[in-house]
């Protein structure tokens, strides 16, 4: 089965039942999940973990929602660093957009589509990445 990478914003929409984005994100995950594995990586895991007091609860929630875990390839980590450096050199002022670059690089290296609500930086740094917005 093919895979699609899911950004933390979409995972959090589902886990928190976000009043604005829950339904849109659920629809996107339902559609993509019917033909693809819904994958997360260590970056998403870390960002989502902030809302959990215990690792066991986090793991149960992610497993129960049907997410599978993909390792972040070294090539993606390297590419993310280079994209972040380019962003800073072009005058990027956000102090920590690095997670966005990790997600984009992971999708670029693996050929996965990326489901995200924040595609701007990914599109700019990784134009080959196919993005699905909920």
Range 52-74 average pLDDT: 95
Condensed to tens digits (0 to 9), the pLDDT of residues 71-91 reads 999 999 999 989 988 888 888
CATH of the domain at 89: 3.40.50.1010
Separation between Cα atoms, residue 71 and residue 85, nearest integer Å: 23
Separation between Cα atoms, residue 38 and residue 14, nearest integer Å: 13
3-state helix, strand, coil in the chain (%, to 5): 55, 15, 30
pLDDT at 92 over 90: no
- For residue 57, the model assigns a pLDDT of 96
Separation between Cα atoms, residue 60 and residue 73, nearest integer Å: 25
* pLDDT-derived band at 121, boundaries 50, 70, 90: confident
Give the count of domains, the chain: 1
Range 32-51 average pLDDT: 95
Range of the domain at 8: 2-132
- With 0-12 / 13-18 / 19 or more C-beta atoms within 10 angstroms meaning exposed / middle / buried, residue 71 is exposed
């Amino acid at each position: 089965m093919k895979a699609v990478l899911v950004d933390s914003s979409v995972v959090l929409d589902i886990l928190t039942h976000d009043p604005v984005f829950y339904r849109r994100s659920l629809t996107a995950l339902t559609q993509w999940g019917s033909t693809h594995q819904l994958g997360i990586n260590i970056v998403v895991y870390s960002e989502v973990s902030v809302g959990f007091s215990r690792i066991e609860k986090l793991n149960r929630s992610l497993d129960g929602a049907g997410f599978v875990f993909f390792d972040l390839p070294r090539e993606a980590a390297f590419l993310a660093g280079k994209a972040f450096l380019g962003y800073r050199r072009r005058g990027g002022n956000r102090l920590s957009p690095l997670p966005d670059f990790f997600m984009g690089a992971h999708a670029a290296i693996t050929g996965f589509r990326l489901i995200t609500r924040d595609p701007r930086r990914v599109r700019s740094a990784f134009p080959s990445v196919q993005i699905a917005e909920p």
